[in-house]
Amino acid sequence: MSAVAVCFVCQWCAQIGAERAGRDRLQLPGGFVMVPVPCAGAVPVDVVLRAFADGAEGVAVLGCHLGGCHHNQGNRGASVRLALLGATLATLGVHPHRLLVSFGSAHEGHQFASVVEGFMTRLGALSQGADLALLRGRLEGAALAPGCDLPPREPEAGAPSPLPADILEEARRLLASGEVGHVLGLAVTDGGVLPEVFSTPQELERAVAASKYPLAKTFWRFMGGMPQGTSAALVCRPCDARAVREQTKMAQYEGQTVRCLTLGCSEEDAHKCGCANPGVDAPSYVALPDPLADLDPAGRIAFWRDSFQRCIKCYGCRNVCPVCICPSCRLEDETFVPPGILPPPPLPWHACRALHVADRCVGCGACQDACPSGLPLLALHGSLSGHLHRESAYIAGMGMTSPIAAAMAAQGPCGGPPPAWGEPGGARGADREVRHG
Ligand code: SF4
Ligand code: SF4
């Protein structure tokens, strides 16, 4: 029986190629369903994942030449997103032949016939492997034990210590001068180490540092309840400071001024986090070796199958993540991720979340620390961050650009230079000041 595949075809090239192939009576393989789309950029990665989850053995996205997009730069954005999807599938152990992304190769009849023929032939040669079961969310037979050993992570906040003198002095100065109205940090209370908002220099006497405590999401929630014009500083870990930058890129602090007073982490704390570089403004776990590097695809499939099997769909990973802040979340879409199913289908759930935060995950590890089932989530997020770093030297939170936005903004709509990221009229205008002290 021939393989079943879904081909998303751009109406401006591959769809025309398909029509010409038919008109020229070229032989086409069976087993593929063609879905015309206005642009390759209109194919969300979620939909590709859903096609796999619903039974496709392979998915192809065929678009126009890069640089020849009828919707300006739609296919450039698609190329980055779909490359990330390919990296996700590779991390999970899915055979690379199951996803074909091709630009400009199928706009003539014979080209379309040859691309589809090659794709379907390669798919047909694959066995009905374990990767298909993983793609479709069939996890029967999964063991409840982890598939390989990863370094244990410290779940609780580290022991509190006094704030470094320079940070304390700067926080006091900011409050005393009125440069900021609030400083959010940590204090020791009856309940332990908890976040606290300090509004006077005197109150800062109670501030402490505890580098394992994530604060960027708390800060985002606090500022979300404050009016425009509010200025505040966050005393935090380097990864939290990078998360605040990512939140800023998502226009979360419009009309507000935020400042991060960044504490470097100790080597000991960095080791507990699995962080390779705990410096004040330094790249984090992208430098860590891939913990799954020694596993072949079959080992990866077993590892993820066993891990995903333990997920109880509590949404803890999403809720704690400082950059998972969309007002409506695809993971709650009942047609996409049916309610009441445990464990959730891994592709729509885990791969979708990883892809949605791929270019803004700062590797803080809050998701992995929060997971009650001990899922090794950083192995998935880290592999995508590593892919972006290798492909475009990108590290989330280290600047105000994003590879996806940069790909789409490579050329302005009229051929001129596009507005820069963060400038008025840019992809995500940001009129607030962000300084990292
Ligand atoms: S490590 Fe997890 S919690 Fe932290 S930014 Fe990445 S996805 Fe979000
Ligand atoms: S925190 Fe863990 S168990 Fe809860 S939804 Fe996320 S991966 Fe699943």
Q: Dump pLDDT digits (tens) for 381-394.
A: 988 888 888 888 88
The per-residue pLDDT for 78 is 85
Distance CA 224, CA 228 (A): 9
pLDDT digits (tens, 9 = 90+) for 66-103: 777 777 777 788 888 899 999 999 999 999 999 999 88
Closest C-alpha residue for ligand 2 atom 1:
371
Neighbours of 57 (CB within 10 A): 26
The per-residue pLDDT for 127 is 74
Q: Which residue has the higher pLDDT, 169 or 369?
A: 169
The per-residue pLDDT for 321 is 95
Q: What percent of the chain has pLDDT over 90?
A: 37
Please, are residues 83 and 43 in contact by the beta-carbon 8 Å criterion? Answer: no
**Is the per-residue pLDDT at 147 higher than 70?**
no
Is the CB of 215 inside a 6 Å radius of any atom of ligand 1? no
Please, are residues 428 and 422 in contact by the beta-carbon 8 Å criterion? Answer: yes
| Domain extents in the chain | 5-135, 139-437
pLDDT digits (tens, 9 = 90+) for 194-209: 999 999 999 999 999 8
- In single-letter form, the type of residue at position 229 comes to G
Distance CA 277, CA 256 (A): 30
Report the atom number in ligand 2 closest to the C-alpha of 374: 2
Is the CB of 370 inside a 6 Å radius of any atom of ligand 2? yes
**Is the per-residue pLDDT at 2 higher than 80?**
no
Is the CB of 354 inside a 6 Å radius of any atom of ligand 2? no
Is the CATH number 3.90.320 carried by domain 5-135? no
The per-residue pLDDT for 223 is 96
Is the CB of 275 inside a 6 Å radius of any atom of ligand 1? no
Whole-number Å distance, alpha carbon 282 to ligand 2 midpoint, is 28
- Of 190, 395, 374, the residue nearest 285 (C-alpha): 395
Whole-number Å distance, alpha carbon 396 to ligand 1 midpoint, is 11
Report the atom number in ligand 1 closest to the C-alpha of 321: 3
Report the atom number in ligand 2 closest to the C-alpha of 315: 5
pLDDT digits (tens, 9 = 90+) for 269-286: 777 666 766 665 554 444
pLDDT digits (tens, 9 = 90+) for 150-170: 444 444 556 788 999 999 999
Q: Which residue has the higher pLDDT, 384 or 411?
A: 384
In angstroms, the Cα distances linking 139 to 225, 285, 308, 319, 342 are 42, 30, 8, 25, 10
Q: Which residue has 């790249």 as its token pair?
A: 283
The per-residue pLDDT for 419 is 35
Q: Which residue has the higher pLDDT, 2 or 143?
A: 2
- Mean pLDDT in residue range 354-382: 89
Report the atom number in ligand 1 closest to the C-alpha of 317: 3
Ligand 2 binding pocket mutation candidate from 139, 153, 317, 332 (most atoms within 8 A of CB): 317
Residues 6+ apart with CB under 8 A from 392: 403, 406
The per-residue pLDDT for 280 is 56
**Is the per-residue pLDDT at 430 higher than 50?**
no
Whole-number Å distance, alpha carbon 273 to ligand 1 midpoint, is 12
How much is the pTM? 0.81
Please, are residues 161 and 208 in contact by the beta-carbon 8 Å criterion? Answer: yes
Whole-number Å distance, alpha carbon 307 to ligand 2 midpoint, is 10
By CB atoms closer than 10 A (0-12, 13-18, 19+), residue 171 is buried
Is the CB of 374 inside a 6 Å radius of any atom of ligand 2? no
Which stretch of DSSP H or E encloses residue 182? strand 182-189
**Is the per-residue pLDDT at 324 higher than 90?**
yes
The per-residue pLDDT for 138 is 61
The per-residue pLDDT for 389 is 83
**Is the per-residue pLDDT at 226 higher than 90?**
yes
Neighbours of 350 (CB within 10 A): 24
> Which range (96-100, 176-180, 430-434) has the least confidence?
430-434
Distance CA 373, CA 376 (A): 9
Is the CB of 311 inside a 6 Å radius of any atom of ligand 2? yes
Residues 6+ apart with CB under 8 A from 185: 163, 171, 195, 196, 198, 204, 207, 208, 209, 215, 234, 235, 236
Residue 429 DSSP SS3: coil
- Of 155, 325, 358, 363, the residue nearest 240 (C-alpha): 363
Nearest ligand, CA 216: 1
Is the CB of 329 inside a 6 Å radius of any atom of ligand 2? no
